[in-house]
Amino acid sequence: MEFLIVEGIVVHELTLSAAPPFDFLSVVYSHGWYQLTPFRFNEEPVLETVVRLHSDVVTNIEMRPVDGGVKVRTGEDLSDSDQKNLQDQVSWMLDLEREFSAFYTLAEKEPKLAHVRKRAKGRLLRSPTLFEDLVKTILTTNTSWAGTKRMVSALVDLYGEPAGGTGSEQMKEGGVRKTFPTPQRLAKTSEKELREKARLGYRSPYIYQLAEKVDKGELDLEALKQNQLPVDELYKFLRAIKGVGGYAAAYLLLLLGMYDRIPVDSWAKKLVSVEWYDGEPVGEKHVLERFETWGEWKALAFWLWDWDYMHTLEN
């Protein structure tokens, strides 16, 4: 890990390469996660977040594009072990190692997906931990995007741990930033507290029980990052978690790099309705039928499709 002086501040820096092709902004804008704390994005472009390392160091990091990969900065002088852990977390968040050539070959035959190789699309931004992604996914259900952002911000503000160290504090603007809360921290709350203080509504028992199970070792979410289960078994495993319905389970599969199931909600139905059915109401089966020929890539094809409805919103 190298260090440099930026505006009088000592900054530690490392560079990670990505499987080509790679486009930093395509990952950041892949879905709305970059708008949810502790992520913060500016147009330099820099994506920030706060991570907890294996040694329990909590540090603010900045990620920015370089040729063929990403540069990561932190105000902390990290041990070799923490450096390796930081590399692993950034690689996971930006999906740096995934290769999409098979999908790109298929996509080039479809005009609605002809843009994906050129713009290196396919990677989806992920949180450092699957626990964070799972909680955020539950908080997207049956609410507006503004509601999701509010609930996530409340969890971070109330239960997140501040980034430590003078260096990391100097790197950021607007006060001390916090991590997403650990399951151990949320397990010390209660359903009532999450409902009344964080205002999670009916999701409160789901989040609390999830945190409890992870804290007690009854559920090892991080092991799913190296998952070897067939997609149907993994889907059933996710569905068995309270608060995870069909949409949430399919969305989590998408984040895990398994594209066999489309996360179908009212928005998906609206897109398909306008694209193929002249705006007439459609059901889940209509969405699934339209992408069935894409096989193991069907959810990614759906996610990256150049939708007619999106163009009507732009005009």
Tell me the pLDDT band of 14, cut-offs 50, 70 and 90: very high
Q: Report the pLDDT value the prediction gives residue 4, as an integer from 0 to 100.
A: 53
CA pair distance 27, 12, nearest whole angstrom: 24
Distance of alpha carbon 189 from the chain centroid: 24
Question: What residue ranges of the chain are covered by domains with CATH 1.10.340.30?
Answer: 130-221
Average pLDDT, the chain: 92
Q: Report the pLDDT value the prediction gives residue 175, as an integer from 0 to 100.
A: 58
Q: Give residue-wise pLDDT tens across range 127-184.
A: 999 999 999 999 999 999 999 999 999 999 999 999 975 444 444 454 579 999 999 9
Contact 286, 270 (CB under 8 A): no
CA pair distance 283, 19, nearest whole angstrom: 37
Does residue 112 register a pLDDT over 80? yes
SS3 237: helix
Tell me the pLDDT band of 226, cut-offs 50, 70 and 90: confident
CA distances from residue 246 to 6, 122, 143 in whole angstroms, order as listed: 47, 22, 16
Domain formed by 130-221, architecture: Orthogonal Bundle (1.10)
The DSSP-derived string for 48-83 is EEEEE-TTS-EEEEEEEEETTEEEEEESS---HHHH
Find all residues with CB under 8 Å of 260, minimum gap 6, and list them: 231, 253, 295, 296, 298, 299
SS3 86: helix
Question: What residue ranges of the chain are covered by domains with CATH 3.30.310?
Answer: 2-113
Does residue 3 register a pLDDT over 70? no
Q: Report the pLDDT value the prediction gives residue 181, as an integer from 0 to 100.
A: 97
- By CB neighbour count within 10 A (0-12 exposed, 13-18 middle, 19+ buried), where does 101 fall? exposed
Tell me the pLDDT band of 11, cut-offs 50, 70 and 90: low
Q: CA-based diameter of the chain, in Å?
A: 60
Does residue 75 register a pLDDT over 90? no
Q: What is the mean pLDDT of residues 25-33?
A: 97
8-state DSSP, 5: E
Q: Report the pLDDT value the prediction gives residue 167, as an integer from 0 to 100.
A: 45
Residue 127 in tokens: 């949180």
Find all residues with CB under 8 Å of 81, minimum gap 6, and list them: 54, 55
Q: Give residue-wise pLDDT tens across range 241-253.
A: 999 999 999 999 9
CATH number attached to the domain at 2-113: 3.30.310
Q: Give residue-wise pLDDT tens across range 284-298.
A: 999 999 999 999 999
What percentage of the chain has pLDDT greater than the value 70? Answer: 93
Q: Which helix (H) or strand (E) holds 8?
A: none
Residue type, 175: G
Tell me the pLDDT band of 77, cut-offs 50, 70 and 90: confident
How many Cβ atoms sit within 10 Å of the Cβ of residue 166? Answer: 11
Among 40, 37, 56, which Cα is nearest to 48's? 40
Q: Which residue has the higher pLDDT, 43 or 3?
A: 43
Q: Give residue-wise pLDDT tens across range 176-208.
A: 799 999 999 999 999 999 999 999 999 999 999
Angle between helices 130-138 and 204-215 (to 10 degrees): 160
Does residue 2 register a pLDDT over 90? no
Q: Report the pLDDT value the prediction gives residue 176, as an integer from 0 to 100.
A: 72
Q: Report the pLDDT value the prediction gives residue 76, as an integer from 0 to 100.
A: 84
Residue 130 in tokens: 């699957």
Find all residues with CB under 8 Å of 154, minimum gap 6, and list them: 197, 198, 199, 200
Q: Which helix (H) or strand (E) holds 46?
A: strand 46-52
